[in-house]
């Protein structure tokens, strides 16, 4: 640098080092015309960052980059933290904290239903670990479990009819059948007919019930129902004084040619035919019939 009283002038000597102000040049020196110039380095994407220093080659034309040569579109902005706002300007990515996460479970405090999750325990979407929830639903026929904060209650239901096995009076229900609260589809129930209209349901006859099956003893002098004459699951027959009562379908092979009377009503039947009420009776007794339906 040569100086005078009035002038500060840089000494420019051919071959002396200088800085040409360009990023992608090296070995900048003064040339014969006293101009500073360097040896160019490649910058294939023209983003201003030399190829050898560019971590993101192929930057789209016109997009601003950071010092590594990466634009916003060439980077992952989401930091995976739900409690931060992710942004990017001129290739510089930022993560602004929106809400705290005091228990570090990955759920922001504002949305965390379990604010003090023990360190390291996996949580559900609400920030609750298994240890912070009631897993047992109190229902005997479900298997209760919890994994990663998600509680499940699996019904023990072998025939998948929606009724727990311990409460299912009709196991083995066909898939897709609509069932009653007892777990029985129409096809699994005996047929009951009133005034010519038939529907599936529990058999209702006589008085002094309910009893669990056809072979149950009958009180107050009423005759014993024909054991085994009704083919149905145990627990569906109800003996009661319900009215009105018309025809009850008995399907078993053992009820043959027997005519018997129940208190208040008399019934007659034969194999594979409805048990038909023939009239009102005040006494109970049993007698042999002709094997043909009577009215």
pLDDT tens digit string along 188-231?
765 444 334 444 444 444 333 333 333 322 233 333 444 333 33
More confident residue, 223 or 183: 183
pLDDT band at 12 (very low <50, low <70, confident <90, very high): confident
Percent of the chain at pLDDT above 70? 60
Dist CA 105 CA 64 (whole Å): 36
Query: What would the pLDDT profile of 43-66 be if each residue is shown by its tens digit?
Result: 899 998 989 889 999 999 999 999
Please give the sequence-ordered ranges of beta strands (E in DSSP) within the chain, or none if there are none. 2-3, 8-9, 25-30, 36-40, 84-89, 92-97, 142-147, 150-155, 191-194, 197-200, 204-205, 238-239, 247-249, 258-262, 265-268, 274-279, 286-288
Bridge-partner residues for 277, per DSSP? Answer: 267
pTM for this structure?
Answer: 0.36
* Mean model confidence pLDDT for the chain: 69
Q: How far is CA 60 from CA 32, 70, 207, in A?
A: 38, 10, 90
Query: What would the pLDDT profile of 60-77 be if each residue is shown by its tens digit?
Result: 999 999 999 999 999 999
pLDDT at position 65 is 96
């Amino acid at each position: 640098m040569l100086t005078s009283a009035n002038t500060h002038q840089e000494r420019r000597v051919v071959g002396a080092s200088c800085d040409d102000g360009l990023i992608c040049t090296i070995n900048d020196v003064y040339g014969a015309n006293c101009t500073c110039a360097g040896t160019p380095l490649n910058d294939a994407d023209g983003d201003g960052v030399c190829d050898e220093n560019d971590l993101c080659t192929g930057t789209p034309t016109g997009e601003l980059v950071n010092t590594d040569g990466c634009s916003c579109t060439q980077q992952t902005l989401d930091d995976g933290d739900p409690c931060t706002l992710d942004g990017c300007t001129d290739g510089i990515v930022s993560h602004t904290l929106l809400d705290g996460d005091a228990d570090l479970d990955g759920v922001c405090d504002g949305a965390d239903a379990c604010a003090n999750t023990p360190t390291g325990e996996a949580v559900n979407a609400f920030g609750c670990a298994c240890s912070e929830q009631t897993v047992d639903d109190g229902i005997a026929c479900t298997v209760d479990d919890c994994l990663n904060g998600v509680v499940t209650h699996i019904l023990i239901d072998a025939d998948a009819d929606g009724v727990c096995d311990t409460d299912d009076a009709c196991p083995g229900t066909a898939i897709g059948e609509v069932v009653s609260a007892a777990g029985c589809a129409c096809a699994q129930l005996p047929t009951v007919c009133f005034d010519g209209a038939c529907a599936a349901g529990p058999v209702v006859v006589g008085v002094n019930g309910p009893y669990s099956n056809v072979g149950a003893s009958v009180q107050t002098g009423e005759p014993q129902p024909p054991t085994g004459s009704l083919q149905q699951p145990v627990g569906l027959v109800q003996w009661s004084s319900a009215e009105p009562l018309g025809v009850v379908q008995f399907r078993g092979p053992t009820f043959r040619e027997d005519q018997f009377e129940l208190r208040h009503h008399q019934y007659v039947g034969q194999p594979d035919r409805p048990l038909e009420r023939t009239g009102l009776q005040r006494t109970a007794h049993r007698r042999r019939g002709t094997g043909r339906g009577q009215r």
